[in-house]
Amino acid sequence: MRQNSKQPGGKNRVRKNDEIRVSEIRLIDEEGEQLGVYETKKALYLAKGKSLDLVEISPTAKPPVCKIMDFGAYLYQKKKDQKEQKKAQKTQSQKEIKFGIRISDNDFDVRINKAIKFLEKGSSVKVILQFKGREFTHPEIGLKRIEEMAEKLSEVAKQEFAPKSQGRSIVTEFRPLSKKEK
């Protein structure tokens, strides 16, 4: 039977007190000082005498490393650290802007302003120029529009790759300039 790591018997579960089954452990006290190699029963007796728990920190070490600490406070700090790590992760999002070659100048400017807002927020922008009907016989008009957009976005973005044809559309991508590039 496969065990989930989030369940009580999972492989990432931290063992404490009577759950530690090895005969000898390397002991660290509540201040973080190494006390040396102790018998598990003696280390457990020391922890109980201080009204704390004996927690297995490194189960793969030879002998396993255990620390005398308040287990509830340890779990709280661990959750708090995980929350901070998750908050610190920077998520990169990608936004799409689509238009055709017969777009009016005003609508084109609206698309550019939208792209600038996305780029200033840190998102990359995928620009898709779609051809309808017989428009595909004039890809140079579409390339001209994409180049025009690249020129207007050059102050806030860098073009990731040259415009490439994908089916009935031309695609390119812009990413925000880093602080060094500005």
In a domain, 110, yes or no: yes
**What Rg, from alpha-carbon coordinates, does the chain have?**
30
Tell me the percentage of the chain whose pLDDT exceeds 70. Answer: 91
Asked if pLDDT for residue 68 goes beyond 80, the answer is yes
- The number of folded domains in the chain is 2
Asked if pLDDT for residue 107 goes beyond 90, the answer is yes
Amino acid 182: pLDDT? 64
Rounded to the nearest integer, the mean pLDDT of the chain is 85
Sequence letter at residue 80: K
Q: What's 2's DSSP letter?
A: -
Q: Are residues 99 and 64 in the same domain?
A: no
Q: Which residues span the domain enclosing 143?
A: 94-176
Amino acid 10: pLDDT? 56
C-alpha to C-alpha distance for 46 and 53, rounded to whole angstroms: 9
What is this structure's pTM?
0.53
Q: Are residues 98 and 166 in the same domain?
A: yes
Mean pLDDT of 160-181: 88
Asked if pLDDT for residue 75 goes beyond 90, the answer is no
pLDDT in tens, 132-142: 988 888 888 88
The shares of helix, strand and coil residues in the chain, as percent rounded to the nearest 5, are: 35, 30, 35
The lowest-confidence range among 10-14, 45-49, 150-154 is: 10-14
- B/e letters for 158-180, b = 16+ CB within 10 Å, e = fewer, are bbeeebeeeeebbbbbbbbeeee
Looking at 105-156, which runs of residues are DSSP E strands? 124-130
Asked if pLDDT for residue 84 goes beyond 70, the answer is yes
In a domain, 89, yes or no: no
Q: Where does a domain end: 44, 77, 110?
A: 77
Amino acid 87: pLDDT? 80
Q: Are residues 129 and 168 in the same domain?
A: yes
Q: Are residues 133 and 165 in the same domain?
A: yes
Q: Are residues 116 and 159 in the same domain?
A: yes
Quickly tell me which residue has 């006290």 as its tokens. Answer: 29
Mean pLDDT of 156-168: 90
Sequence letter at residue 85: Q
Residue by residue, what is the 3-state secondary structure of 67-116? EEECHHHHHHHHHHHHHHHHHHCCCCCEEEEEEECCCCHHHHHHHHHHHH
Q: Are residues 112 and 67 in the same domain?
A: no
Q: Are residues 73 and 109 in the same domain?
A: no
In a domain, 82, yes or no: no
Q: Are residues 104 and 57 in the same domain?
A: no
Asked if pLDDT for residue 17 goes beyond 60, the answer is yes
Amino acid 59: pLDDT? 83
In a domain, 67, yes or no: yes
Q: Are residues 110 and 171 in the same domain?
A: yes
Amino acid 12: pLDDT? 66
